[in-house]
């Protein structure tokens, strides 16, 4: 009898893929490459794609040259919203050497920006560090960023005249 009852239960479809390599393009220009050892996709009212065992993303400029990179231990893509939630040891860095470290970060695919309301640390190659206690916002290339309730020390070249 239980088997017959189970036939009438609604089940959520779930796709699983391993060793994923996916490209995102806009107007026939490659914008990003994602790699992950595991991806699951749940067919619910709101389709959700999850990367439970790390993901890496390389973002490209219009000449398809890498301009920034992302690593996280977990990711969730909300398809209809075009947003990705990244959690657990999130690292983003650009070709200049600026590095962002946080525990949670959102990437808005449509607006091509990163944002969070969680604590962030930004390190620069010249040993300068900046902290955003209430988060930050940055463009996808991570060339410009804004800290919320931020602090840090910026070394400024000596401006005295000879």
Dihedrals phi, psi of 118, to nearest 5 degrees? -95, 165
CATH architecture for segment(s) 15-151: Sandwich (2.60)
Any idea where the domains of the chain sit in the sequence?
15-151
H helices of the chain, where?
A: 2-8
pLDDT in tens, the chain (162 residues): 788 777 766 666 788 999 999 998 878 888 889 999 999 998 777 788 999 999 999 989 888 899 889 999 999 998 888 899 999 999 988 888 889 899 999 989 888 898 999 999 989 888 788 888 888 998 877 778 888 887 776 666 666 655
Q: Which of 31, 4, 44 minimizes the C-alpha distance to 112?
A: 31
């Amino acid at each position: 009898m239980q088997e017959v009852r189970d036939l009438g239960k609604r089940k959520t479809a779930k796709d699983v893929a391993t060793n994923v390599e996916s490209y995102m393009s806009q107007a026939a220009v490659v914008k990003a490459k994602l790699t992950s050892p595991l991806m699951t996709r749940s067919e619910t009212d709101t389709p959700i794609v999850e990367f439970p065992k790390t993901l890496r993303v390389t973002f490209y400029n219009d000449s398809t040259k890498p301009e920034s990179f992302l690593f996280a231990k977990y990711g969730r893509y909300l398809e209809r919203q075009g947003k990705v939630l990244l959690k657990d040891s999130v690292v983003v860095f650009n070709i200049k050497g600026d590095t962002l470290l946080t525990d949670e970060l959102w990437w808005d695919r449509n607006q091509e920006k990163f944002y969070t309301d969680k604590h962030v640390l930004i390190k620069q190659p010249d040993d300068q560090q900046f902290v955003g206690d209430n988060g930050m916002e940055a463009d996808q290339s991570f060339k410009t960023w804004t800290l919320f309730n931020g602090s840090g020390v910026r070394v400024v070249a000596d401006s005295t005249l000879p």
